[in-house]
Chains A and B, each alone.
Chain A
Amino acid sequence: MKKTITKRLNKSLLASAIAVLLSSGMAMAKSDNMHQLYQDNCASCHGSDHGGYLAPALNADTLKGRSPTALRTIVMAGSFDTLMPPFYGKLSDDEIRGVIKHLQETPKQPNPAWTIDDMKKSLKVYVKDESSLPAKPTFQIDDKFENLIGVAARGKYGRGEGSKAIFINSATHQKVGEVSTGTAAHIIDFNPANPRWAYVKTDTAEIFKVDLYSMQATRSIKTGWNGPGMGVSRDGKYIMAGSFVPHNAVILDADTLEPLKTFELEGIDPDGKHVSSDSGMIIGTPYADIFAIALENAGQVWIVDYKKEGFPVTKIEKVGRHLHDAFLTHGGKKLMVASYDDSIVAAIDLEERKLIKQLPAGCVPHVGGGSAVKVDGRTLGFGTNFGDCDKMVVSVWDLDKMEVVKQIPVSGGTESPAAHANAPYVAVDIISKDRRARTVQLIDKKTLEVVKTLDVGGHAYFPEYSADGKFLYISAGYNGDEVVVYDSNTLQKVASVPMESPAGIFSRGRVKYMTRGLSPDEMEQGK
């Protein structure tokens, strides 16, 4: 009897010793594992530095006092009406609990580095000999290459099999190709000088060089941790890309994707504080050999001369507080930049390199790609805004006089306006998080009134006209999983293209008309 007790005791001692060993070993491995798990599953939306990106910041500070059980439910089941997918069945319960513990203990990281050497090492070549590529498109497009429309399909998890750039022929509404991007595609830019090339940037800051003739990526490079900013030069030879994490930008050779120069984004903000800054929009203009880049937090716009030795920078200061996106006007000589915190859109003269005017633009202006239309001799600019206040309007400016013409009431916050010289309406996406998110409203160009509301379904956003203006493409984003096509005049639904979590839509026609809504002649003026 005694013997057995001792034996049992020994056994249990041994067992607990093993358990202690195992758990300490696991604890050591755990925080490293959880860091990797976060980077592999969460960081493309929540930010590699834990500081938030498309989705909220997840760190010790922002999650302080939050119930781990409640957080676990969100991770498991996803969050309705947002891009947050359910991780039930994808991550184990231990992993979910582990990553929540890790997040509640981890502070926001101070600007994790991604240097020019990291970029160089990340360069991948998928097609060694580009001269072996077909000389013409391998799909039906009737020599009208501008009919090509690219859609950034995010994929439900912001990465994985569903994450692609999908290309559609807007004459037939048929999918003509798709290129897997690994993580969520965010921006598609077309090469203005050579129709065969497009560049796709993901939320984890990789840029893919895509051969549209054979619909495949030939090269890719990782330019940072997160951030969508990208522009292509008018000669098609350079790309400039900017990141949220870390705070830098880079000029690449558009042919090889090799990085040529990096820029640290920092400066004195309008309140006199020296700050390190996220990259906002980057744009190449048809008017000159320059890039313009918005420094979000520093409130500056930098102009980079890419043809001059050393890529010199001209800094325009005090443009606004928290700059974001922009669009071009006047043949590409003027730039309209949205400033979130001042509720203005700032007009910048790219020739004189100075700020010329700040125009009222609703509470949180987000102009998306912007729109400009010519009506009755006036050039009118259209600016959407998130509308996080009572004032839910789309602002219309006279771009010659640089003054507000009207602030059109709409049914909610808006994110992106679409217009076309040949289409009667300016389309704006309502993004308010309820049933309104299913809808897109149409503003008559002449009367400047909302004349129709389309119930697209899903979370409808990013409207875009086909290059001929005959069709309006709209992403019925998450919970819709299709791109819906309407006739621009009758507003009847004519087609649907299924895909996983479609977001931004980019017509190849954009390189022709510079800003959506203008006629191609407008761009010729700039040259």
Chain B
Amino acid sequence: MKLKYSVLLLAGLLAGGSARAASLYAGQAKAAAVCAQCHGIRNPSADAPFPPLGGRDVEYLKTAIRQYRDLTRKSDIMNAIAGSLTDNDINDIASYYGSVKP
């Protein structure tokens, strides 16, 4: 029984490892290049109309950005901007903003 669990665990770890671990540094660089103009590198401008991303839930951010990219969530400006992002980019960006203290 014990053995079975650890095999499962190991399989899980391996699966997780195959998708590259998120890099906060790469995420910050990508966020600075793609998102920060509107959302800020930590917070959007005090008087800007854009929602803050810093400190948001990482899974939520990933889902939202993927939806914008895949056009399953409509927004003229976000569909255009997220369109060029890869899965790795999205993981990195979401992990970076998730790690920022708002």
Contacts and interface: CB of A to CB of B under 8 A. Distances in A.
Interface of A: 76-78, 80, 85-86, 88-90, 155-157, 160-162, 457-458, 479-482, 498, 500
A480 B41 contact: yes
A479 B46 contact: no
A500 B45 contact: yes
The 5 closest A-B pairs by CB, nearest first: A156-B45, A89-B49, A161-B46, A160-B47, A78-B37
30 contacts: A76-B77, A77-B37, A77-B77, A78-B37, A80-B33, A80-B37, A85-B37, A86-B37, A86-B38, A86-B50, A88-B38, A89-B50, A155-B46, A155-B47, A157-B47, A160-B45, A160-B47, A162-B45, A457-B32, A458-B32, A479-B33, A479-B41, A480-B32, A481-B36, A481-B41, A481-B42, A482-B41, A498-B42, A500-B45, A500-B46
Interface in B40-62: 40-50
A458 B41 contact: yes
Nearest to A155: B45
Contacts of A88: 38, 49, 77
A178 to B, nearest CB: 12
A37 to B, nearest CB: 16
A155 B43 CA distance: 12
Contact of A157 (B28, B33, B40, B45): B45
Nearest to B39: A86
Nearest to A159: B47
Interface residues of B, number: 19
Contacts of B50: 86, 89
Contacts of A481: 36, 40-43
A496 B91 CA distance: 26
Contacts of A77: 37-38, 77, 81
Contacts of A85: 37, 45, 48
A90 B41 CA distance: 19
Given A457-B41, A500-B40, 20 more contacts: A76-B77, A77-B37, A78-B38, A85-B37, A86-B38, A88-B38, A88-B49, A89-B48, A156-B40, A157-B45, A160-B46, A161-B45, A161-B46, A162-B46, A162-B47, A457-B32, A458-B32, A479-B32, A479-B33, A479-B41
B48 A479 contact: no
A88 B45 CA distance: 13
B45 A457 contact: no
A281 B47 CA distance: 32
A160 to B, nearest CB: 4
A155 B47 CA distance: 9
A86 B50 CA distance: 10
A160 B45 CA distance: 9
Contacts of B38: 77-78, 86, 88
A89 B78 CA distance: 13
A156 B49 CA distance: 12
B54 to A, nearest CB: 10
Contacts of B33: 80, 479
Contacts of A89: 48-50
A390 to B, nearest CB: 27
Nearest to B46: A161
Interface centre among A86, A160, A161, A162 (most CB of B within 10 A): A86
A90 B40 CA distance: 15
A482 B32 CA distance: 13
A327 to B, nearest CB: 32
B93 to A, nearest CB: 14
Nearest to A88: B77
A157 B44 CA distance: 11
A89 B75 CA distance: 13
Contacts of A156: 40, 44-45, 48
A479 B37 contact: yes
A498 B81 CA distance: 26
A311 to B, nearest CB: 41
Interface string B20-42: 00000000100011001110111
A293 B33 CA distance: 39
Contacts of B81: 77
A147 B87 CA distance: 47
Nearest to B77: A88
Contacts of B32: 457-458, 479-480
Contacts of B43: 481
Most A-side CB within 10 Å, residue of B28, B38, B48: B48
- Residue from A80, A89, A458, A481 whose CB has the most chain B CB atoms within 10 Å: A481
Contacts of A480: 32, 41
B97 to A, nearest CB: 13
A392 to B, nearest CB: 23
B47 A161 contact: yes
Nearest to A164: B46
Contacts of B41: 457-458, 479-482
A202 B46 CA distance: 19
A79 to B, nearest CB: 8
B4 to A, nearest CB: 47
Contacts of A482: 41-42
Contacts of B47: 155, 157, 160-162
B36 A90 contact: no
B79 to A, nearest CB: 13
Nearest to A80: B37
Contacts of B46: 155, 160-162, 500
A86 B49 CA distance: 10
A525 B36 CA distance: 48
B30 to A, nearest CB: 12
